[in-house]
């Protein structure tokens, strides 16, 4: 699993800086974003939903001791995966998502 910004790809043999990948509908040529082409287009308004705002404001919580113990178990080759527990939790998560009311 790769963690990082999916929009950037590493440059091989270059300066080490990442280069942006073209987005959907863009070609890999020298096309520039619309904002770069129009210098006066700097005042875009973005409104985030309350869900997005709460996700951005949330601080991730984790148990550092548990992470260290799992990391050590993986390194030792003693970490065991319980596929039944994973399946049960995936099914419970899917049920929760299906029973959630839609946006109002």
Domain with 80 in it: 62-104
Mean pLDDT highest for which of 26-35, 54-63, 70-79? 70-79
Q: Report pLDDT for 9.
A: 53
In a domain, 52, yes or no: no
Instruction: For residues 15 and 73, give the distance between their C-alpha atoms in angstroms, rounded to a whole number.
Output: 37
Q: How many CB atoms neighbour CB 18 within 10 A?
A: 13
In a domain, 30, yes or no: no
Q: In the predicted model, is pLDDT for residue 4 greater than 90?
A: no
Mean pLDDT value across residues 85-99? 95
In a domain, 20, yes or no: no
In a domain, 73, yes or no: yes
In a domain, 24, yes or no: no
Query: Of 10, 32, 27, which Cα lies nearest the Cα of 19?
Result: 10
Q: Report pLDDT for 26.
A: 47
In a domain, 5, yes or no: no
Domains contained in the chain, number? 1
In a domain, 101, yes or no: yes
Q: What is the pTM of this model?
A: 0.34
In a domain, 97, yes or no: yes
């Amino acid at each position: 699993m790769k963690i990082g910004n999916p929009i950037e790809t590493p440059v091989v043999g270059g300066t080490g800086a990442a280069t942006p990948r073209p987005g959907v509908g863009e070609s890999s040529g020298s096309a520039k974003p619309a904002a770069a082409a129009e210098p006066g287009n700097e005042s875009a308004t973005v409104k985030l939903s309350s869900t997005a705002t709460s996700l951005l404001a949330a601080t991730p919580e984790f148990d550092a001791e548990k992470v260290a113990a799992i990391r050590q178990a993986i390194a030792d080759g003693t970490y065991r995966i319980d596929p039944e527990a994973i399946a049960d939790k995936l099914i419970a998560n899917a049920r929760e998502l299906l029973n959630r009311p839609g946006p109002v």
